[in-house]
Chains A and B, each alone.
Chain A
Amino acid sequence: MSEQDQPKHVADENKTETPATRSPENPAPATPAPETAAPGPKTPGEDAAAATALDTAGGAMQPSAVPVSAQSGIVPGGADTLVRRIFTGSGIVSVLAVLLALILGGLLIASTDKQVGATASYLFARPSDFFSAVWNAATRSYVALFQGSVFNPRGSSVAVQFAPLMETLTIATPLITAGLGVALAFRAGLFNIGAQGQIIMAGILAAWVGFALHLPLGLHLLLVLIAGIVGGALWGGLVGLLKARTGAHEVILTIMFNYIALYFLRYLLNTPAFQRPGESNPISPILDPSAVYPQILGTQYRLHLGFLLAIAATVFVWWLLNRSTVGFEFRAVGANPKAALTAGINVPRATVLVMAIAGALAGMSGVAQVAGTEKVLTDGVAATYGFDAITVALLGRSTPWGTFAAGLLFGAFRAGAVQMQIQTGTPIDIVLVVQSLIVLFIAAPPLVRALFGLNPRKKKAATAGKSKKAAITGGAA
């Protein structure tokens, strides 16, 4: 991608040189041309792009490659941390990271395959056997993964054939909304590790409204949803408040709040108010039928209204970030808090607000769990959705639609993994390995670029620095 940058500068340069050569270029210094004859203000001779390219010598020069903006001599503040760069880097790296992780995962699958083991013993005699066995093992598993997550051709009817896709969407629902929460907070410069706790608190409130109150259809569900959103928003907003007031770091706060939420939930499930009558296990009563999400495509699928709400949430977050003053504040605070402060933006208020909205989004995941898929409250209500949400936001580069897509992908992994184990005996854990590998590769963009030969660092290092700089300066959009 850095190579594509080069021609752009060239074009700029050409464009800018044209008027310059037309006008008397170098008025002899001894006889300065009168002011009026001087090239007008429009002469883009010192065109920004060209100037930047010149200053950093096309980006190759890392030592002095502190952006031209730093000509004051002061190196700009630490707004562009490593974490920030990882979270908001290019989408291409995301795609490549997934691809790489799948390839490595395939090799791992093959290494545990019996057929591969057998052919390995005579690898040098007939290498083709070995390689075809590797190929077969990996593709068999991935085909099963696909069949378990998107489309199963062996199904008896179209409805059954697409059942895996519906399952994927169902599982993706809480991942998407919680992922949006993490992504939104991140765009405001906050590392929200607390989706897990926010889901739990939302689940507690939503479930209680769902089984303890008995209200008319419609109103009941609405109240369940509101209760969940409020629960998540309070739990997230509290972190924001503590950070804004005391300066405590949000990472520590959210991690601790996760524990508090989890043990609070376990305590509640042992109290009469929450424990199902006649049951010794920590499990709540089943939610009223009026309090659960309707299944939107009929009763044969688990897919529920929560998925539509997740789409709506994605649209909302996109609008919030790109079209609202509130999102403008969030992004400003995230990109350069000092400049935001100087421009009159209330940074503490933005911190509280963004954490509350992030919590509310995670809260929607909690509602999707208790009112959508589970219909009861257990201490496993959040499963690992809150932590997977971090990966989802990471893979989605903290953009709303990127997070949506990443949520779908992870949903597919989870849905397909079961089918994969049933069909081919490949352990479900392989999916975890693939997910972890994705994170690993996303966190190391230079590695991914190097593996795919995108690093023109070798001979003429002319563009290497530029891609890095581009990632710093322009990647967040």
Chain B
Amino acid sequence: MVRVLKLELRGITKRFGSLIANDHIDVVVEPGQIHCLLGENGAGKSTLMNVLYGLYEPSEGEILVDGKAVTFRGPGDAMAAGIGMVHQHFMLVPVFTVAENVALGAETTKAGGFLNLDDTRRKIKEISDKYGFDVDPDALIEDLPVGVQQRVEIIKALVRDAKVLILDEPTAVLTPQDTDELLDIMRQLKSNGTSIVFISHKLREVKAVSDTITVIRRGKVVGTADPGASTTELASMMVGRAVNLTLDKAPAKPQETTFQVKDLTVIAPTGQHVVDGISFDIARGEILAVAGVQGNGQTELTEAILGLQERCHGSILLDGEELLGHSVKEVLRAGVGFVPEDRTVDGLIGTFSIAENLVLDLYDQAPYAKGISMSPARILENAKSRIDEFDVRTPSGALAAGTLSGGNQQKVVMARELSRPLRLFIASQPTRGVDVGSIEFLHKRIVAERDQGTPVMIVSTELDEVIELADRIAVLYKGKLVGIVPAGTGRDVLGLMMAGLSPESAHADTAHPGSAHPGSASAGSAHPGSAHTPVQTSTSGAEGGDHE
């Protein structure tokens, strides 16, 4: 039943004007493989896949399916050839049911022109049962969580008989749990003969599922790698320079405790206690990382500290002063630096210039304003120095912040918040959607702030990040504090705590099933010598004489 399909891209070049997005790219996707395209944001991965999916015509090069050259005039041709694509941003009609979405574009009708969804429903059930998708064909898309919506997209491709499935940054929108489930699904699909092209810049996921890794940088294939290669090696291939993934972080030298949260409860408009009786404190020169699956009260906790939550009980003390009940402006003026979790929504104003965004919470302070009169010159001056200091890649501070890449936007937010003397620094998801090179930089800045003696609170749903940065780790579950554990606590213990187990029982649980650490990404010193690494550099002509 399984029709395998071998896909080959030969010398694909795609130009936009004189901008070369893809430069002679060769990729071979063997049947039944998970082939990863690894590269930073903007490396040209998505362009390549859009060429493959028939959305763009390549400027040069050809696509071969089972050895025969083909031309795709549109996604329809690609689908007919057995190629399916799941876009990063889903192409689903929110008010339609799952079955209606899957049928869309290939609807069949009964006599009298009535829509016939029975076939589609049956197929969805089949696929859903086969892979354990647990998708109800009659559920409305808008009612489904993101992870399930993504499965609908996968079903859409499978119903159309896709033999090669392109997943474009599929984990960007998923929680760690959903990500793990998706990786499982990918393995299952593979064992059923579907090849997968997996586009990602997240090294751990790539290493976990890939059979072959092709690294793309600035539109060129820089080499292929074996999934056994260390994360450091992969990262340096991707970024083009040595990247230090393990943060050089001196042990914390905690001083006096200046920030205290006592019995904090936040009540949502629905009456739910989204933060429920939390108490913790942070000392100067210490990083407390708040871990937990998204939606367990982290957002409300940080918002309560900042003064954005209306119904709060308890007490939040900074240097003995109560923060609760003060306006956001007063809290910021008290010396709280705040990096919100979603820069595009809370952190930046996309249409404002970078310079304006750099003073978004200082616009009415000297030297940027005198009375109500602002000084654009001072604001631009400030932008120049911040852009230099934080290495924001932009030709000018006068450009709209919305034109920056994710990593650079985050640098702008971070630069703004760290530009004034702080007594508390809170960063929510400090590196979400940020490329590897910028992550390294941002993490260093956070640690530097700690070393200056500021109490730092990091909220992250990325366990890697929590482990990397934390001096102590607090785990939230359903608005309650499960416990605070020291840095160095194992991933498995933290994972169980994130599911609601107390630290003691989590330790007990992990004690006997053996000490397997699946997917532990702490490579670092494990690969000191690079004498016989599994990394091989591409010999394709694209590279030319770039090597010594």
Closest to A57 in B: B47
Contact of A48 with B372 in the complex, beta carbons under 8 Å: no
Question: Complex Cα distance A14/B349, Å?
Answer: 29
Question: Complex Cα distance A10/B18, Å?
Answer: 6
Question: Complex Cα distance A258/B327, Å?
Answer: 35
Interface residues of B (CB under 8 A from A): 14, 16-19, 21, 40-44, 46-47, 50, 55-56, 87-89, 91, 168-169, 172-173, 217-219, 222-223, 225, 232-233, 236-237, 240-242, 244, 306, 308, 327-329, 331-333, 338, 340, 342-353, 356, 360-361, 363-364, 369, 372-374, 376, 391, 393-395, 399-409, 429, 432-435, 437, 530, 533, 535, 537, 543, 546-548
Q: List 22 A-B contacts (CB under 8 A).
A: A10-B17, A26-B240, A29-B225, A30-B233, A30-B530, A39-B240, A47-B393, A48-B405, A52-B405, A57-B16, A57-B46, A58-B17, A67-B402, A323-B374, A324-B373, A325-B374, A326-B372, A328-B363, A339-B360, A344-B331, A344-B332, A476-B351
Contact of B346 with A473 in the complex, beta carbons under 8 Å: no
Q: Which of A70-78, A103-111, A270-278 contacts B (4 or more CB under 8 A)?
A: A70-78
Question: Complex Cα distance A38/B244, Å?
Answer: 12
Given the known A-B contacts A29-B535, A68-B406, are A462 and B16 also in contact in the complex, defined by CB atoms under 8 Å? yes
Contact of A9 with B17 in the complex, beta carbons under 8 Å: yes
Closest to B362 in A: A343
Contact of A328 with B356 in the complex, beta carbons under 8 Å: yes
Q: Which of B55, B344, B399, B434 contacts A61 (CB under 8 A)?
A: B55
Closest to A8 in B: B395
In chain A, positions 14-55 with a C-beta closer than 8 Å to chain B are 24-35, 38-39, 41-42, 44-55
Contacts of B168 in A (CB 8 A): 64
Contact of B352 with A46 in the complex, beta carbons under 8 Å: no
Q: Which of A54, A58, A335 contacts B43 (CB under 8 A)?
A: A54
Given the known A-B contacts A26-B547, A67-B402, are A46 and B42 also in contact in the complex, defined by CB atoms under 8 Å? yes
Contacts of B408 in A (CB 8 A): 48
Contact of B41 with A332 in the complex, beta carbons under 8 Å: no
Given the known A-B contacts A26-B543, A51-B41, A72-B433, are A473 and B46 also in contact in the complex, defined by CB atoms under 8 Å? no
Contact of A331 with B409 in the complex, beta carbons under 8 Å: no
Closest to A336 in B: B349
Q: Which of B21, B236, B349 contacts A332 (CB under 8 A)?
A: B349
Q: Mark A152-187, 1 if CB is under 8 A from B, else 0.
A: 000000000000000000000000000000000000
Question: Complex Cα distance A342/B338, Å?
Answer: 9
Contacts of B55 in A (CB 8 A): 61, 63
Contacts of A33 in B (CB 8 A): 241-242
Contacts of A473 in B (CB 8 A): 350-351, 400, 402-403
Task: Quote the shortest CB–CB distance from A357 to chain B (angstroms).
Answer: 13
Q: Is the interface of B mostly helix, strand, loop or mixed?
A: loop
Let me know if A214 is at the binding interface, CB within 8 A.
Answer: no
Q: Which of A7, A41, A344 contacts B17 (CB under 8 A)?
A: A7
Contact of A28 with B46 in the complex, beta carbons under 8 Å: no
Tell which of B17, B353, B372, B399 has the most Cβ of chain A within 10 Å.
B17
Contact of B17 with A24 in the complex, beta carbons under 8 Å: no
Contact of A324 with B374 in the complex, beta carbons under 8 Å: yes
Given the known A-B contacts A6-B17, A54-B219, are A63 and B87 also in contact in the complex, defined by CB atoms under 8 Å? yes
Given contacts A29-B233, A52-B404, 12 further A-B contacts (CB under 8 A): A47-B393, A54-B21, A57-B56, A61-B50, A61-B56, A71-B433, A72-B343, A77-B344, A324-B374, A338-B346, A473-B400, A474-B400
Contact of B364 with A72 in the complex, beta carbons under 8 Å: no
Contact of B402 with A50 in the complex, beta carbons under 8 Å: no
Task: Quote the shortest CB–CB distance from A354 to chain B (angstroms).
Answer: 14
Contact of B308 with A341 in the complex, beta carbons under 8 Å: yes
Contacts of A51 in B (CB 8 A): 41-42, 393, 405
Let me know if A12 is at the binding interface, CB within 8 A.
Answer: yes
Q: Which of B242, B328, B435 contacts A344 (CB under 8 A)?
A: B328
Question: Complex Cα distance A462/B21, Å?
Answer: 12
Contact of B308 with A45 in the complex, beta carbons under 8 Å: no
Contact of A342 with B393 in the complex, beta carbons under 8 Å: no
Task: Quote the shortest CB–CB distance from A174 to chain B (angstroms).
Answer: 28
Contacts of A9 in B (CB 8 A): 17, 19
Task: Quote the shortest CB–CB distance from A344 to chain B (angstroms).
Answer: 4
In chain A, positions 75-92 with a C-beta closer than 8 Å to chain B are 75-77, 79
Given the known A-B contacts A30-B535, A41-B391, are A58 and B347 also in contact in the complex, defined by CB atoms under 8 Å? no
